[in-house]
Amino acid sequence: MVAYKRKELLYGNPLNNEACVKDFVLEGHAKVSFHDGRMLLENALDEGVGQKSNFVYWCPHDFGGDMEISWKFKPLREPGLAIMFFNAIGTGGEDIFDKSLPKRTGEYDMYHSGAINCYHISYFRRRWQEEREFHTCNLRKSKGFHLVAMGADPLPGVDDSKDFYEIKIVTLGNDIYFFIDGLQIFHWNDNGELGMPPQKGKIGFRQMAPLAALYSDLRVYRVG
């Protein structure tokens, strides 16, 4: 188990009303609502349109360095898939919202093989039959769709879910750790063989239709 200490709260967002996400950036089409003080995300387009029914919801701030990103998650409807992007930046060092970058509209290849570098962790993988048959959490490094780490997924299906699960990503130097409810799922060291590690950038929630899920208590700490 990795040892570290929280030093400073860089960002805290309860995600409990519309004002909390007034500056968030939606790519693709989604329904964003609030229920019992939690943010509900679900697709606005029918899953039958394929990748166009999926979306990314970006926090507008940049984070990087030694940090802990955490949020609470509760799936309400499956199948589907949930992802967190982090350290997302243009492949030329641009802000991901720079007008010079191609427009992104939620289709997956725009994020893993487009004009941005990032890491992303898929942590509730129930969209396809093979994902439901064998549950894993996957870390990919992009640009390039490189699967670099995998761990067993302890999250149950919707029918057996408890109230909320704490999802947590910790970056220390070039090391990435991933936890669900305090259980370490995997650890990976980015040695640069797949390109320079992105050191700072945006974080964003992604869902694949028809998943509906609740989110709350997004926090980013400086750690050491």
Mean pLDDT of the chain: 97
What is the pTM assigned to this prediction?
A: 0.97
The answer to whether 67 and 170 have CB atoms below 8 angstroms apart is: yes
| pLDDT average, residue stretch 64-69 | 98
Tell which CATH classification among 2.60.120.200, 3.40.50.1370, 3.40.50.2300, 3.50.50.60 matches the domain 7-97+109-223: 2.60.120.200
Q: Mind listing the pLDDT tens digit for each residue in 78-96?
A: 999 999 999 999 999 999 9
Chain segment 129-147, per-residue pLDDT in tens = 999 999 999 999 999 999 9
Residue 160 pLDDT: 96
The conformation of residue 109, written as its DSSP 8-state character, comes to H
Give every CB contact of residue 202 below 8 A, 6+ residues apart in sequence: 58, 59, 60, 61, 62, 63, 85, 86, 88, 89, 95, 96
Mean pLDDT computed over 52-62: 98
Domain spans of the chain? 7-97+109-223
pLDDT digits (tens, 9 = 90+) for 143-174: 999 999 999 999 999 999 999 999 999 999 99
Query: Residue 1 above 90 pLDDT?
Result: no
